[in-house]
Amino acid sequence: MPTIFSRIATGEIPAVKIYEDDATLAFMDINPASRGHTLVICKAEHPDIYAIPSDLLAATAQTVQRVALALRAALEIEGLNIVQNNGAAAGQTVFHYHVHLIPRWTGDHVLRPWAPSTVETAELHAVAERIRAALE
């Protein structure tokens, strides 16, 4: 069963498209967080950051930058959040790799950033050690 984004990529389901190349597609989010909220997808169906091949990840990143520049030029945005959710625990609802570009204006309060916490330096070292070990 193809994802809804695959069905958009093939044209089976309509979307308000703004850019397309062989590997990627950019279209307007149907429930935008702000004016100009755009999604960039990898056309090939890969669920998340863990699964997407690195060449397609790079292609998607290039389209994200291209659209970011267009948003800045077209909409006089003051800021831009780039959000990419992986897993239901992170808020992902469509399991097909995609990146949100969410234009921001001062005081719009459309996106709540994470709540900073404090941590012991020893804990930072312990966590870093686990991540470094996993990189090997």
59 or 98, CB closer to ligand AMP? 98
Q: Which position among 37, 98, 109, 125 bears the catalytic label? A: 98
DSSP string, 27-79: EE-SS-SSTT-EEEEESS---STTTS-HHHHHHHHHHHHHHHHHHHHHH--SE
What's the closest the beta carbon of residue 49 comes to ligand AMP, in angstroms? 12
Using the rule CB under 6 A, is 48 a contact of ligand AMP?
no
**Site residues for ligand AMP, window 4-33 (CB under 6 A)?**
4, 15, 29-31
46 is catalytic: no
Using the rule CB under 6 A, is 92 a contact of ligand AMP?
yes
* Residue of 13, 6, 18, 11 whose CA lies nearest to 44: 6
What's the closest the beta carbon of residue 29 comes to ligand AMP, in angstroms? 5
Q: Coil, strand or helix: which one is 116?
A: coil
Cα distances from 1 to residues 76, 98, 135, in angstroms, run 39, 18, 33
What's the closest the beta carbon of residue 4 comes to ligand AMP, in angstroms? 5
Instruction: Tell me the chain's radius of gyration from C-alpha atoms.
Output: 17
Using the rule CB under 6 A, is 111 a contact of ligand AMP?
no
φ, ψ (nearest 5 deg) of residue 58: -65, -40
Q: What positions carry a catalytic annotation?
A: 98
- Contacting residues toward ligand AMP, per CB under 6 A: 4, 15, 29-31, 39, 85, 91-94
